[in-house]
Amino acid sequence: MPLATINGIQLNYQVKGSGDLVVLIMGTGSPGRVWDLHQVPALVAAGYRVCTFDNRGIAPTDECADGITIEDLVADTAALIAHLGGPAHVVGTSLGARVAQELALARPDLVRKAVFLAAHGRRDTLQKTLSEGERELDRKGITLPTEYRAAITAVLNLSPASMVDPMAAQDWLDIFAFSKADTTPGVRAQRNLDDFGDRLAAYGRITVPCLSVGFADDRLVPANLAAEVGKAIPGAEYLELPDCGHYGYLERPEAVNAAILDFLKR
């Protein structure tokens, strides 16, 4: 991935394919290369030029450990789209969906269509409690035992349907056990972005075509919150996918990719 000065920071990004530009925005604590597993190949094969990048907070993009705001992430994405000769279709998941939602509101000139995976315009009580608990673990320097942490990650992010088969369940647990790195200052700064109010009324001013996708078994961002975003945006569509949790784009990539491609091609 090349590093470029984007919106005053060093931002790490990658572009593959040719055609209309699609920018993929990842969620909290994850690098942009996660999209390379399933979404990038499908979009490139469908004739799109696809950009993935590491949000500020995720090295080698500047970590900005002294603090990150949602406005920073929106401005970074807007500047990247302009750098690449936008406008662009944008697809975001979780925190990335929030960035895409705010970008569609603030810079409709840069957004052709927007897809929000695990969208939310407000947080419920469980989300707030989980976020505060996670920050408390960080403040106290507590590291959960590897196998327990992997199990908690699976429970919070996967559908029960993905854990029925014992071999598949063990594969997921092994992935979570071996892929978790130490929580960096940049990731901690991203986690603090969990504090925000109710944005649903503001989303009533979004004018670009939007698709909100909810994952039926999502425990971190329940599907009813994604449905609220779809309802709040005039003319937006809402689609709920069964048998997938917060990592629906990894659990059921064919269904997620089909939903994205169908919406972008219309």
Share the mean pLDDT of the chain: 93
> Where exactly are the structural domains of the chain?
3-125+185-265
* DSSP letters spanning the chain: --EEEETTEEEEEEEES-SEEEEEE--TT--GGGGGGTHHHHHHHTTEEEEEEPPTTSTTS---TT---HHHHHHHHHHHHHHTT--EEEEEETHHHHHHHHHHHH-GGGEEEEEEET--SS--HHHHHHHHHHHHHHHHT----HHHHHHHHHHHHS-GGGGSSHHHHHHHHHHHHHHPPPPPHHHHHHHGGG-----TTGGGG--S-EEEEEETT-SSS-HHHHHHHHHHSTT-EEEEESS--TTHHHHSHHHHHHHHHHHHH-
Structure tokens, 266: 């219309």
Task: Kindly tell me if the per-residue pLDDT of 99 is higher than 90.
Answer: yes
Pick from 249, 215, 242, 266: nearest CA to 24: 249
Task: Kindly tell me if the per-residue pLDDT of 197 is higher than 90.
Answer: no
Calculate ∠ Cα 66-126-175, nearest 5°. 70
Q: Which residues of 222-259 are buried (b: 16+ CB within 10 A; e: fewer)?
A: bbebbbbbbebbeebebbbbebbbbbbbbbbbebbbeb
- Mean per-residue pLDDT, 242-250: 97
- Residue 181 pLDDT: 62
- Mean per-residue pLDDT, 203-223: 97
Task: Kindly tell me if the per-residue pLDDT of 251 is higher than 90.
Answer: yes
Choose the catalytic residue: 94, 131, 162, 212. 94
Annotated active-site residue 76? The verdict is: no
Q: Given pLDDT bands bounded at 50, 70 and 90, which one contains residue 171? A: very high
Interval 103-115: pLDDT, tens: 999 999 999 999 9
Task: Kindly tell me if the per-residue pLDDT of 21 is higher than 90.
Answer: yes
Assigned CATH topology for domain 3-125+185-265 = Rossmann fold (3.40.50)
Q: Given pLDDT bands bounded at 50, 70 and 90, which one contains residue 2? A: confident
Structure tokens, 175: 């992935």
Annotated active-site residue 89? The verdict is: no
* Higher pLDDT, residue 130 or 118: 118
Choose the catalytic residue: 20, 62, 76, 218. 218
Structure tokens, 70: 């949602």
Annotated active-site residue 218? The verdict is: yes
Q: Given pLDDT bands bounded at 50, 70 and 90, which one contains residue 182? A: low
Interval 52-88: pLDDT, tens: 999 999 999 999 888 899 999 999 999 999 999 989 9
Q: Given pLDDT bands bounded at 50, 70 and 90, which one contains residue 130? A: confident
- Residue 229 pLDDT: 98
Ranges 156-165, 186-195, 206-215: which has the least confidence? 186-195
